[in-house]
Structure 1
Amino acid sequence: MAAFNGARLSPTAQVLPGAYRGAWEHIKNMPVDESAFTEVTTQPLNGDAPHYRDRSASNSGGGFGHSSGRISALALDPDRSGVLYAGGANGGVFRSTDDGAHWTPIADHLPALSVGALATGPDGALWLATGEATTAADNFLGSGVYRLADPLHDSFEESDRVGGTELDSSSIGRLRFDTEAGYVFAASSHGVYRRALAAPQPAAWERVLAPCAGVGVTGISCGASSFFADLANDLAVQPGTGGKRLVANLAWRSGAGYNGFYYSDDAGTTWRRANPGGAINPAEIGNASFAYAADGSRLYVVMESPELLNKATGSGASSSLAGVYVSKSGAVDGPYSQIATSSKLATSGSAMKITRIGAGYQPGTQAWYDQVIGVDPADPEHVYVGLEEVFESRNGGSDWQAVGRYWNFGLDCFSYDPALDTCDEDVIHPDQHAMVFSNWKGGTPEIYVGNDGGVFARPLAQTPGKGWRNLNRSGTLRTLQYYSVGVGALPGGQGDAVWGGLQDNGVSLQVPQGATYTHNGHVQQLNPTGEMSEPYGGDGGDQLVNPDNGCETVGEYTNLAMQITRNCGYTASVDGSEDVITDIAPGDPGARFIAPFGADGADKGYWVAGGQYIWGNTKTWNSTSGADWDRLYDTGAGHSTTALDSRNRVMWAAWCGSCNPGASFGRGIVTNYGGAWHQVTLPADFPNRYVAGITMDPSDASGKTVYAVLNGFSRHWNEGPGAGYGHVWRTTDGGATWQDVSGPAEAADSFPDAPANRLLISPDGTLAVATDLGVFTSNPSTPGHWKRLGLPALTATGNLPTAAALHLAPSPDGRELYVATHGRGIWKTAMP
């Protein structure tokens, strides 16, 4: 998340309200390059596909089965059995009317598809808070809050927005209804906001708690950084108080002077800072989540420790979990009893016990990112905690059971041979973010959880070992978060192999059902069941695919950890005994989390890659190890390559260093154009922002014509008054001079002021640029004039959803353009 969002927030770590709204309003009035999009990744993704079990690279066999992308929020219709809603981290909202068997998107063309919170109002309306908040501040920013009056039948429209611009460019971690007092509350990255439920649409949200801004409480020292100030992570209403008592957690995960618990006894009009007693140390309070028993008699808390998190980045602490606590009086001041620690949870059947997963990755290691807690509405002692795994206690925390394990690897019951594997079914995808309980009349009460792999459910009465219902099996909950896409033709005219690197779901492979590939004389059935497979596990980054042979690919784990396969990663046996994926990482010390690499655009016998160093490879598809890479150039100590391109071994690369937003942020461009490697002198008006893309013009064989694509927003939104949009720049003289080809900001056909990620040049020379708000095209013969790629009506079926488009790739024949979105899968359209 730091790598992804640093690109959007640099250099100042601050985006003012109205940034996304301004870009969206501009886009709505742009001319259109008409072309319909088709969704590509429509097959279910099966992480346990039996013939993709290379032990060094795959997670297949681990047990969590079918996956979708990260789910940050869940809500249920309290009056209609089987109706539920899921919010993707950057994928919008999906509705199911058959208890998760099938899903339909209902928010695809809002200005922001980043979901922070969902909640069903007292009148049955569905409320959507945009701007995901799983890491407190630096997530996908949103465009405010929306209310859908009839969520069973309708879809979200812009007209459903609630309030003004005050929550634009924010992340919102929680929506809470205080029905008795008549308010709805939003816990946001700029504090706690309140709005009367009966307020008419024009009424703005009122900020009622922001200690650093002196709102609600005063006299609290917050430090110098405004970016990390007033982060509200959770808010809860204590039952039985007439809607008067509220508790809130405001905290920055790495520690800040305002970190703490806050409470109100008048429905949020006035606030005080709590002084919790007992097992909670007020000085250790970090990101925390609350859950009251239904009668308000108990307050449960799961909490991250900034002290442990900071140790984890230095001396190697194994967890950032402070603990799980209970106030048995329900009072926010406690006293609190600690009912769980990382070590206690590790011995509850967890797959993250040190003897199973290894040191440094024990329960709660990512408690700043994945934490949620809930109480059975019918039993105040029946508690669930979600960290990387799901834990259950039926006696108020005295005993715990890991009922949702990380995986089965490392357990005594596990065997790569399916005939010998005796593990139970208590495995779900790691990293929990959302939790709700069903209370449908006549139905079985269940718990639903949302995590980095989708939605899972099980009855509250179920005993451990009986597993979960996987609600991702149909493949219709399509919230996959791609970083990249690559496409290659399968032999014999069988169609294309589509590969993509995913957040926490490895590398996916989609081929037509029934496709085969012959390798070493053996015919491989690549897709007998109509599902995508996951040959590479973990995270997936950039992807290089041989366009002439779609089973030859190089996938990245993270940080330039590159791995090659020449047979689609297929293992003939299902016990993982074959080695079909080989590590060829160059071992760069400063690579980005998602680091760039690729094939030379004109020389098929050459590859390039970038970290701190620029690397070249002449072995290409015959590579067998990291030793096959040659170090070509050092971009500089502390620098990391953000983008690169090569044609005829003339290379251009962009770097950042420091790559974190703030005063030390730096960026630059290097090249060997002219014969010797050197840093390019950029003009004074070249924006000081993250350079996300470098593309050489294939029509210029000399290598001196190059485009640079910049992320973030213009200085109007994050650097004060000044320069224009400046997202697309071009040099035609090897970097001696640069021209902003974005167009004047006031022109209707200028490039939108939205984070830009990748530029591709089509065979006829048309430019296509992927941004966080769609894809845009331009004819380079008339620079500065742009069109939106899609259909005229933004809400028309066949348009690209407004999830962030991160990567572009051509089809093997060059006739189609593939778009990797970070939240709504892979799409394609005719090459512009």
Structure 2
Amino acid sequence: MRRRIHGLCGYRLTRALGTLGMVAVLSSASFTGAASQVTQSDLFSALPYRHIGPVGNRVSAVTGVPGDPNTYYFGAASGGVFRSTDGGHHWTPIFDDEDVASIGAIAIAPSADSVIWVGTGEAFIRSNVSIGNGVYRSTDRGDTWEHKGLSTTGRIGRVVVHPTDPDVVYVAALGDLYGPQEARGIFRTMDGGNTWDHVLFVDEFSGGVDIVMDPNDTQILFAATWQMFMQTWGRWSGGPGSGIYMSRDAGDSWERLEGRGLPTGMMGKIGLAMSPMSSNRIYALIETNSNRDFAPLEEHEGVLWRSDDAGTNWSMVNADHTLAQRPLYYSRLVVAPDNPDEVHFLSTRFSRSLNGGEDVTFGNPGGDSHDMWIDPLIPDRMIVGHDGGLSISTDRGRSWWRPRLPIAQMYHVNTDTRVPYRVYGNRQDGATQMGPSNSLRGGGISIGEWQSVGGCETGFSVPDPENPDIVWAGCYDGILSRYDHQSRLARRVNVWPANAEGWPAGELRYRFQWTFPIHISPHDNERVYVGSQHVHVTTDGGQSWEILSPDLTTNDKTKQQKTGGLTPDDAGPTYASVLFAIAESPLQEGVIWTGSNDGFIHVSVDGGQTWTNVTANLPDLPPWGTVSNIEPSSHQAGTAYLTVDLHQQGDPDPYVYKTADFGASWVSLSQTIPRSVFA
């Protein structure tokens, strides 16, 4: 059962919390009966999740019903699909019962606004992004959904529906990007998704990222393909598989567009746009080389290209990187339906051109914008999806309204020892967050009851178990703060003061990951551990730090280089050979476990004086996994559990292990875990 509340939505979460997701807690209000009379599955089925906050954040797809000023839809980066029928004031989640939460594209059939197509898996690429499981269709405005295939396509950048036939649909499928695969390119269905034709396939390293249909001639299509590869230690955009293709027969055959003014060098991510006011006008936002370490570079070729003769000839009209700063994460543009010279660019900063892309001015619907929809019947009506949520304008962008949304992406969750306890986490594209697990005010937990506790958008916020007034909070680039509730002040207590931003991991003294581990000893709350490639420890509130271990990673320098491909990208999330998990046994002081994001597991039984690499004792563990969690047992000192994540090596299978002898031997606990593209 769903309920709507002003400005936010309260609703049931149907799946357990993942690495990224909004904070929810289990409610005992509906549980009755003696615990001894129920099984574990009965217990959890009787405990529904309730949303407690905070508000946030990343919206990856937006659309609306043409001519209807009240109806909008949006897709969240990891929060499903929402619908508003009152101009964006209230939002209802309509996708919670499906198996996927990451949305890449939404399209409403122009000839039947009850038919909605959703492509899953985000195509705006960074290290912490979720994949999808194909395409869904609703024929009742999103009340119910049917999975329509393409399950292994990973990420869908665009869905285009035929203007007069809601059963004819084109999908730009990017792939999961973690390795070679055939399920990528441009797909077409003529029968409502019952069958799909793979109409454009470039190669197993390149996928479809965008597609547009000539609004005045449905036989003509333009598609963009993107050669892209990512792993734990890097992202590489660009190659011969990137390009622009044109079809003149509704996708039966395709011609690659080359020369005639288009870039001559290697291309990366490409965004396309057209306007119904002119079939001759096509825009292409193209990532070209700015990294001579990746490909030969004599001169930067530009950013925005335009054709005024239906794709026959092209000219570079703007070389300003502002139009596609960090192209892997952006590269989208939208043309006004009533003016082919009015172009909007979705990037770190939102910008608009009124002269065909030659000059731009900046607007402010929100930072880090990704998708935009302009009503073709009421062009002053717009909606933009960005990293702060979404913004709506009814006056052609002169002013914007931003509703608050319950789609916060939280990296980790911790609780303190107060009654009622408070919940802590770091919210992507926002601040650290602390909020109550319950409220005496009634009517739910208000937005104002959440506050920041130092740190920033990434990593951990860990309250002191003995003194919950103290919170240790992380951030990118090794930034660490110690927050005091009494003074309401956060103090920087970084292990090392140097700013790591923009530097490859191999050139740093200490390699701190985007979400580096923070752990407070269960035996001495003044003893706090954090992880780079070493374990660092403080016993004086962060005034000084001691290195407690040698390098506990592979320290493979080939995995510590600057990455990005054609465009060097921020390095923090791709730092490899770093510690990702630290945990001390709650039973035996000095038993400390570590796990790295290059697959190493170490244990010390003497408080860090010596360390043993127990990685080889784990059966059937592939190399280069990220040891994402280690949980020492609270019942036996030598027992610990750990999980290893290999999805960025193209392996979605779960790896869960248990040891009962301090790591000398391990058994796999993964056999009964269901397998899927998400597993």
Instruction: Check whether TM > 0.5.
Output: yes
- SS of 1:593 mapped into structure 2: coil
What per-residue deviation string (whole Å, max 9, x for no partner) do you get for residues 559-604 of structure 1?
A: 432111112884xxxxxxxx64323334662222211121123332
Match runs of 1:353-392 below 5 Å: 364-392=324-352
- SS of 2:630 mapped into structure 1: strand
Question: Are 1:334 and 2:251 counterparts?
Answer: no
Change (3 A) 1:591 1:134: same
Change (3 A) 1:334 1:147: same
Task: Structure 1: give runs of 5+ residues left out of the alignment.
Answer: 1-6, 9-29, 46-67, 213-225, 346-362, 405-427, 517-526, 571-578, 658-666, 720-724, 744-749, 756-771, 774-832
Aligned match of 2:384 in 428, 438, 449? 449
Q: Which amino acid aligns with 2:252?
A: T
Q: Which residue of 1 aligns with 2:148?
A: 162
Change (3 A) 1:231 1:614: same
What per-residue deviation string (whole Å, max 9, x for no partner) do you get for residues 278-297 of structure 1?
A: 3x314242211111021323
Aligned match of 1:594 in 487, 502, 515? 515
- SS of 1:297 mapped into structure 2: strand
Give the Cα separation in 2 of the matches to 1:671 and 1:102: 51
Change (3 A) 1:399 1:169: closer
What per-residue deviation string (whole Å, max 9, x for no partner) do you get for residues 422-463 of structure 1?
A: xxxxxx4321111001246xx672221101111012245454
Question: Are 1:431 and 2:349 counterparts?
Answer: no
Match runs of 1:289-368 below 5 Å: 289-295=271-277, 296-305=279-288, 307-308=289-290, 322-331=302-311, 333-342=312-321, 345=322, 364-368=324-328
Q: Retained in 2: the 8 A contact 1:486–1:500?
A: yes
Give the Cα separation in 2 of the matches to 1:247 and 1:402: 28
TM-score if structure 2 supplies the norm length? 0.78
Give the Cα separation in 1 of the matches to 2:522 and 2:427: 24
Question: Are 1:582 and 2:492 counterparts?
Answer: yes
Give the Cα separation in 1 of the matches to 2:450 and 2:141: 30
Q: Which residue of 1 aligns with 2:270?
A: 288
Question: Are 1:196 and 2:189 counterparts?
Answer: yes
Give the Cα separation in 2 of the matches to 1:205 and 1:690: 35
What per-residue deviation string (whole Å, max 9, x for no partner) do you get for residues 388-412 of structure 1?
A: 01101222233311112xxxxxxxx
Q: Which amino acid aligns with 2:188?
A: R
Give the Cα separation in 2 of the matches to 1:452 and 1:553: 26
- SS of 1:273 mapped into structure 2: strand
* Residue-pair matches, total: 579
Q: Which residue of 1 aligns with 2:15?
A: none
Q: CA deviation at 1:606?
A: 1.7
- SS of 1:642 mapped into structure 2: strand
Question: Are 1:114 and 2:102 counterparts?
Answer: yes
Question: Are 1:130 and 2:48 counterparts?
Answer: no
Q: Retained in 2: the 8 A contact 1:136–1:231?
A: no
Q: Which residue of 1 aligns with 2:602?
A: 670
Q: Retained in 2: the 8 A contact 1:309–1:320?
A: no
Q: Retained in 2: the 8 A contact 1:606–1:649?
A: no
- SS of 2:434 mapped into structure 1: strand
What per-residue deviation string (whole Å, max 9, x for no partner) do you get for residues 770-803 of structure 1?
A: xx67xxxxxxxxxxxxxxxxxxxxxxxxxxxxxx
Q: Which residue of 2 aligns with 1:479?
A: 407
Q: Which residue of 1 aligns with 2:620?
A: 686
Q: Retained in 2: the 8 A contact 1:175–1:187?
A: yes
- SS of 2:119 mapped into structure 1: strand
Q: Which amino acid aligns with 2:156?
A: I
Give the Cα separation in 2 of the matches to 1:103 and 1:320: 44
Aligned match of 1:532 in 445, 450, 453? 450
- SS of 2:272 mapped into structure 1: strand
Question: Are 1:700 and 2:621 counterparts?
Answer: no
Question: Are 1:653 and 2:594 counterparts?
Answer: yes
Change (3 A) 1:592 1:461: closer
Give the Cα separation in 2 of the matches to 1:489 and 1:434: 42
Change (3 A) 1:531 1:367: farther
Q: Retained in 1: the 8 A contact 2:453–2:483?
A: no
Give the Cα separation in 1 of the matches to 2:601 and 2:422: 34
Give the Cα separation in 2 of the matches to 1:281 and 1:392: 23
What per-residue deviation string (whole Å, max 9, x for no partner) do you get for residues 301-339 of structure 1?
A: 22222x225669999x9x9994122212231x4222313
Question: Are 1:34 and 2:37 counterparts?
Answer: no
Q: Which residue of 1 aligns with 2:7?
A: none
Match runs of 1:513-552 below 5 Å: 530-534=448-452, 536=454, 539-552=457-470
Question: Are 1:635 and 2:571 counterparts?
Answer: no
Which structure would you say has the larger RCO, counting Cα contacts within 8 Å and 6 or more residues apart? 1
Identical counterparts, % of pairs: 22
Task: Structure 2: give runs of 5+ residues left out of the alignment.
Answer: 1-18, 21-39, 175-182, 229-236, 498-508, 557-576
Q: Which amino acid aligns with 1:238?
A: D
Q: Retained in 2: the 8 A contact 1:183–1:194?
A: no
Q: CA deviation at 1:192?
A: 3.1
Stretch moving more, 375-384 or 527-536: 527-536
Q: Which amino acid aligns with 2:169?
A: V
Change (3 A) 1:73 1:591: same
Q: Which residue of 1 aligns with 2:542?
A: 623
TM-score if structure 1 supplies the norm length? 0.64
Structure 1 runs (4+) deviating above 6 angstroms are 312-315, 512-516
- SS of 1:682 mapped into structure 2: helix
Q: Which residue of 2 aligns with 1:359?
A: none
Give the Cα separation in 2 of the matches to 1:754 and 1:552: 41
Q: Retained in 2: the 8 A contact 1:615–1:633?
A: no
RMSD across aligned positions (CA):
3.4
Change (3 A) 1:515 1:401: farther
Q: Which residue of 2 aligns with 1:252?
A: 227
What per-residue deviation string (whole Å, max 9, x for no partner) do you get for residues 731-783 of structure 1?
A: 1111111111334xxxxxx233369xxxxxxxxxxxxxxxx67xxxxxxxxxx
Q: Retained in 1: the 8 A contact 2:285–2:332?
A: yes
Give the Cα separation in 2 of the matches to 1:700 and 1:513: 33
Aligned match of 2:674 in 752, 763, 773? 752
Change (3 A) 1:582 1:117: same
- SS of 2:617 mapped into structure 1: coil
Give the Cα separation in 1 of the matches to 2:220 and 2:154: 26
Aligned match of 2:57 in 65, 69, 92? 69
Give the Cα separation in 2 of the matches to 1:726 and 1:391: 43
Q: CA deviation at 1:91?
A: 0.8
- SS of 1:632 mapped into structure 2: coil
What per-residue deviation string (whole Å, max 9, x for no partner) do you get for residues 205-246 of structure 1?
A: 21111111xxxxxxxxxxxxx4xx1221101112222x1111
Give the Cα separation in 1 of the matches to 2:646 and 2:129: 13
Q: CA deviation at 1:168?
A: 2.5
Q: Which residue of 1 aligns with 2:211?
A: 235
Q: Retained in 2: the 8 A contact 1:320–1:365?
A: no
Give the Cα separation in 1 of the matches to 2:462 and 2:47: 26
Change (3 A) 1:536 1:606: closer
What per-residue deviation string (whole Å, max 9, x for no partner) do you get for residues 668-691 of structure 1?
A: 211112662121152373321432
What per-residue deviation string (whole Å, max 9, x for no partner) do you get for residues 475-516 of structure 1?
A: xx21111101122255xx5x4332211222231232489999
Q: Which residue of 2 aligns with 1:739?
A: 667
Match runs of 1:211-226 below 5 Å: 211-212=202-203, 226=204
Match runs of 1:711-726 below 5 Å: 711-712=645-646, 718=651
Q: CA deviation at 1:468?
A: 1.8
